[in-house]
Amino acid sequence: MKALLIDDERLARNELRRLLAAFPQVKIAGEASNTKQAREQLAALKPDLLFLDVQMPGETGLEFLESLEPPAPHVIFTTAYDEFAVKAFELNALDYLLKPVDPARLASAVERLPGLAGPAEPKEPAGRLRTGDRVFVREGERCWFVEVGQIRLLESEGNYTRVHFGDAQPQLFRSLNAMEERLDPRFFFRANRRQIMNIAWIAGVEPWFSGGLLVQLKGGAKIELSRRQAQEFRERMSL
């Protein structure tokens, strides 16, 4: 597993490097001292795992992660003392390390990483997102790595997209059209100009005015399909 260390302090990166020497399964592919460098390294090295400092000059680790094209990489956050970040991480079960890093804590974080034994899957940044892929979203102090398959509904809000999953609906810094290109059409259906729904989350369908359909999703949302979209939907579902 290839890892990228992102931290503005050289000493902090060195310390992490020394600690990670005990884990041969994690190979350090590179280092970055700010998010600009990190973007370049990310494109060049295609790492599987990021060790990401939360406080950095220019842009915080969370802002950086939010700006990345999905799917989100595996991330282990590092932070010295940030009550807000730690609360957000704990609330959403994100993995994080407190600096100075406790080696035992690092060991358990590395053990929890998925797919260490499996073969490296080829990554195509421009390809379609799989249902198991994760997207990083954030709203205020809360942040999530949400699996694409868990998203019920995406709604356009100008240049942003509101993502509905679980009991949350944060905004994603991407347009609905941009998201549509990345979503798997076998699961995600463009219901209308404003909404894309996940077919796997449909609870019921009723006929609606003038040949349209009203789709009810698990979790309560109701989506109207015009006659033309209903037609397409029927064709898709009957296949």
Partner 1 sequence: MELSADISLPAGDETRRDKAKERLYVLFQSGGWGTLMAIEAWAIIEFPEHEAVWGKTTTLAVTFMSFATGILITHFIRPIMARWGWKQLGWRPLLPRLFAAAVVAAAVWNALEILWVHGILGLPWRYEYSLPMILVMEECSCGAIMFVWLCLYFFYNLFDRLNRSELERFRLMTSVKEAELRALKSQVNPHFIFNSLNSLRALIEEDPARARKAVTQLANLLRYSLQSGQLETVPFEEELGVVNDYLALEQVRHEDRLRLRLDIAPEALQLRIPPMLLQTLVENAVKYGISPRPDGGEIAIIARSSGGALTIQVSNPGQIEKAGKESSTGVGLHNAAERLRLIFGEKATLELHSDRQLAQVVAEAIIPLPSH
Site residues, partner 1 (CB under 8 A): 8-12, 14-15, 18, 33-34, 36, 55, 57-58, 80-82, 98-101
Instruction: Name residues whose C-beta falls within 8 Å of residue 62's C-beta, 6 or more positions apart in sequence.
Output: 54, 85, 138, 143
User: In this structure, are residues 52 and 75 in contact, taking their beta carbons and an 8 Å threshold?
Assistant: yes
- Which residue lies nearer to partner 1 by CB, 45 or 98? 98
Q: How far is the CB of 42 from partner 1 (least distance, A)?
A: 17
**Residue-wise DSSP of 60-79:** -HHHHHHHSPSSPPEEEEEE
Neighbours of 197 (CB within 10 A): 25
- Which residue lies nearer to partner 1 by CB, 15 or 139? 15
Q: How far is the CB of 216 from partner 1 (least distance, A)?
A: 41
Distance from the Cα of residue 96 to its chain's centroid: 16
Helices within 95-226 (DSSP H only): 103-111, 176-182
- Which residue lies nearer to partner 1 by CB, 33 or 195? 33
User: Which helix H or strand E contains 42, and what residues bound it?
Assistant: helix 35-45
Q: How far is the CB of 139 from partner 1 (least distance, A)?
A: 18
Q: How far is the CB of 61 from partner 1 (least distance, A)?
A: 14
- Which residue lies nearer to partner 1 by CB, 11 or 117? 11
